Amino acid sequence: MSRTLHVLIGGMAIGALGLAWVLQHWFDYQPCSWCVLQRLLVSAIVLVAMLGAAAPCAWALIVTSALTAMLSLAGVAVALYQHQVAAQVASCNLTLADRIISTLGVAEIWPAMFEATARCDEADRPWLGMPFSLWGATLFTFLGMGALLALRRSLRWRARVRAASF
């Protein structure tokens, strides 16, 4: 069951990246550095969740579930920071998000997804009545809840396997 949750988490994250790409390229919702940092965290969640889905043992499920939960918590923090602080200023230049993106060089690898093309105060536009950063926080919350549920199930499964071996 934990593997199924990992597949669902990965699928939801891929869907969110696809939606972000469509909104950017078809509806002109341009991302700022904080938006791109959230995309990086969602991409990392996809990778870790898929590793969890293919995990060969209970320990791997536990580790990938915990890592997914931590990445989700970081995503909530980034999204809320964007909403409360970054969206109130015009420039994202030289912020933590900008430095992380520059250091990783992801804009050069896939500019259509990871290039920041908007100012911070422009990027937090409402979509369906809610600022985009709060949609991000909501997404990360659901991904984190799924990861915690997978972690709980993995720990229970590990305990049952261990008890059965005695």
CA distance 33 to 101: 7
CATH code of the region 2-164: 1.20.1550.10
Kindly report the pTM of this predicted structure: 0.89
Are the C-beta atoms of residues 71 and 13 closer than 8 Å to each other? no
Reported as a single tens digit per residue, the pLDDT across 21-70 is 999 999 989 998 999 999 999 999 999 999 999 988 888 999 999 999 99
Distance CA 26, CA 40 (A): 21
Q: 64-116: per-residue pLDDT in tens?
A: 999 999 999 999 999 999 988 876 776 666 688 888 998 999 989 999 999 98
Residue type, 77: A
Q: Are 158 and 62 in contact (CB under 8 A)?
A: yes
Taking Cα atoms as reference points, which of 143, 41, 131, 119 lies closest to residue 84?
Answer: 131
| Mean predicted confidence (pLDDT) in 154-164 | 66
Inter-residue contact 54 to 62 (CB < 8 Å): no
